[in-house]
Amino acid sequence: MTSPPRTPLRPLVSRDRDEAHRAATPLELFFDLCFVVAVAQAGAELVHAVAEGHAGDGIARYAMVFFAIWWAWMNFSWFASAYDNDDVLYRVVTLVQIAGVLILAAGVSDAFEEQDFFVVWLGYLVMRLALASQWLRAARAASGAERTMALRYAAGVTICQAGWTVLVFAPEGTRPWVFLVMVVAELAVPPLAERGHASSWHAHHIAERYGLFTIIVLGETVAAATVAVKTGVEENDALGEVLPIAAGGLLLIFAAWWIYFVVPAHRRLLSNRQAFRWGYGHYLIQASAAAIGAGIEVSVEQAVGKAHLSATAAAAAVTLPAALFMLVVWALHSRYFKFGIAQQMVLPCAALGILVCTFAGRWGVLAAGLVAAAAVAAGVVLTTRTERGTQGG
């Protein structure tokens, strides 16, 4: 029996929150892959800033640019979870949003080096107008409290986009403060819009979308680190110097993947209150995951004499984001699935151990990787013991 033909345009109505077998679509995967271009640009600029001895400015600008990238991705992901009807207009508007993020990616260098946010703002304008139009489509097909929610979202997105215009014309010294104000405004839109009616996002789908984006970010980290190691070996004949960094970095990335996916994150998405905390907290998870790759690049450049910083500072470029990743993953969902003090303390102790590895200098990245691998092994052993004890009881 054949399915009925798809119509080009269908009402953009909310999907069932309990829909079975909900999974990421090819369009969503394409969307994510295009976003990684912007993530790669932000990471490359962070490497350049830290390697040149401007770590403070580099980290601050990276935090700003990564938020812009991540927030646009998050807005689309939650909307799509609730309203993706996969008609022609929905696909076209999503492709327009992809064009916007590519424009944003083209402006990352100017935002880092000159604090010129015009191209970033232009990319944001394209993405946010497209998103606002999607919310207006949803409002047209809805009624009552759901319609009010959709109109609030459309208004909030539009007002915030107008607010970002101030960032383009503000004096250079005030731009970080303008950015901070706009971050607060952006974060306030979803909880204000969903007062009285929650959008019908799908817990399994959202957990999968965040997991896929985390994988893509970790994949970009692997790619960037691989290129850095390859360049260090080919251009400087420094295999002995970069091999410990490569080994430690790979262990950190493997451990990050294991630690993130070892627990069923969707079980934490039982209400809007939990979902907001979980969703917003992923800014730190995904920004730190991408920063690990940048730190590995910095460590390689320092090892071959191309970076203007000490071995301890280069190690810190890896250990600080790696420790932050572990702590935030633990705080957001891992701790809710651990039993007993021993299981609870694995990740916090591992984060502390990784920070201590900073002072190992040129061996710091390798030491941090070994600590992360030991944390994974300890978690496996403790979990296995708990499960055997439960079954035996």
What's the pLDDT band for 391 if we cut at 50, 70, 90? low
Task: Decide if 97 is inside a domain.
Answer: yes
Interval 342-355: pLDDT, tens: 888 899 999 999 99
Please indicate, yes or no, whether residues 216 and 82 belong to a single structural domain of this protein. Answer: no
Please indicate, yes or no, whether residues 152 and 282 belong to a single structural domain of this protein. Answer: no
* Domain CATH number, residue 329: 1.20.1410
Please indicate, yes or no, whether residues 76 and 162 belong to a single structural domain of this protein. Answer: yes
The pLDDT value recorded for residue 30 is 92
Task: Decide if 15 is inside a domain.
Answer: no
Interval 363-383: pLDDT, tens: 999 999 999 999 999 988 887
Please indicate, yes or no, whether residues 223 and 350 belong to a single structural domain of this protein. Answer: yes
Nearest one of 212, 233, 231, 211 to 223, comparing CA atoms: 231
Average pLDDT over residues 30-50: 89
DSSP labels for 203-250? Answer: HHHHHHHHHHHHHHHHHHHHHHHHHHHHHHHHHH--HHHHHHHHHHHH
Percentage of residues in the chain having pLDDT higher than 70: 95
Percentage of residues in the chain having pLDDT higher than 90: 50
The pLDDT value recorded for residue 390 is 55
End-of-domain residue from the set 193, 213, 240: 193
Burial of 135: CB neighbours in 10 Å, binned 0-12, 13-18, 19+: buried
End-of-domain residue from the set 164, 193, 222: 193
Task: Decide if 13 is inside a domain.
Answer: no
**pTM of the complete model beyond 0.85:** yes
Please indicate, yes or no, whether residues 189 and 208 belong to a single structural domain of this protein. Answer: no
Interval 223-257: pLDDT, tens: 888 888 887 777 777 777 888 998 999 999 999 99
Average pLDDT over residues 123-144: 93
What's the pLDDT band for 162 if we cut at 50, 70, 90? very high
Please indicate, yes or no, whether residues 335 and 284 belong to a single structural domain of this protein. Answer: yes
Average pLDDT over residues 46-62: 88
The pLDDT value recorded for residue 372 is 95
Task: Decide if 314 is inside a domain.
Answer: yes
Please indicate, yes or no, whether residues 57 and 78 belong to a single structural domain of this protein. Answer: yes
Mean pLDDT of the chain: 88
Instruction: Provide the residue range defining the domain that includes 210.
Output: 203-392
- Exposure b/e, 163-196, CB count within 10 A at least 16 = b: ebeebeebeeeebbebbeebbeebbebbeebbee
For residue 363, give the amino acid letter: W
| CA–CA distance, 220 with 18 (Å, rounded to integer) | 33
Does residue 1 have a pLDDT over 50?
A: no
Give me the number of domains the chain comprises. 2
For residue 312, give the amino acid letter: T
Does residue 393 have a pLDDT over 70?
A: no
Task: Decide if 220 is inside a domain.
Answer: yes
Does residue 202 have a pLDDT over 50?
A: yes
Which residues are CB-neighbours of 71 under 8 A, at least 6 positions away? 186, 283
Please indicate, yes or no, whether residues 57 and 136 belong to a single structural domain of this protein. Answer: yes
Task: Decide if 198 is inside a domain.
Answer: no
DSSP labels for 173-214? Answer: GGHHHHHHHHHHHHHHHHHHHTTT------HHHHHHHHHHHH
End-of-domain residue from the set 131, 159, 193: 193
Least confident interval from 180-189, 269-278, 384-393: 384-393
The pLDDT value recorded for residue 389 is 57
What's the pLDDT band for 338 if we cut at 50, 70, 90? confident
Please indicate, yes or no, whether residues 323 and 222 belong to a single structural domain of this protein. Answer: yes
Please indicate, yes or no, whether residues 163 and 212 belong to a single structural domain of this protein. Answer: no
Interval 85-116: pLDDT, tens: 888 999 999 999 999 999 999 998 888 888 88
Average pLDDT over residues 133-153: 93
Task: Decide if 19 is inside a domain.
Answer: no
The pLDDT value recorded for residue 70 is 93
| CA–CA distance, 357 with 176 (Å, rounded to integer) | 32
Task: Decide if 10 is inside a domain.
Answer: no
Please indicate, yes or no, whether residues 213 and 289 belong to a single structural domain of this protein. Answer: yes
The pLDDT value recorded for residue 343 is 83
Please indicate, yes or no, whether residues 266 and 170 belong to a single structural domain of this protein. Answer: no
The pLDDT value recorded for residue 339 is 78
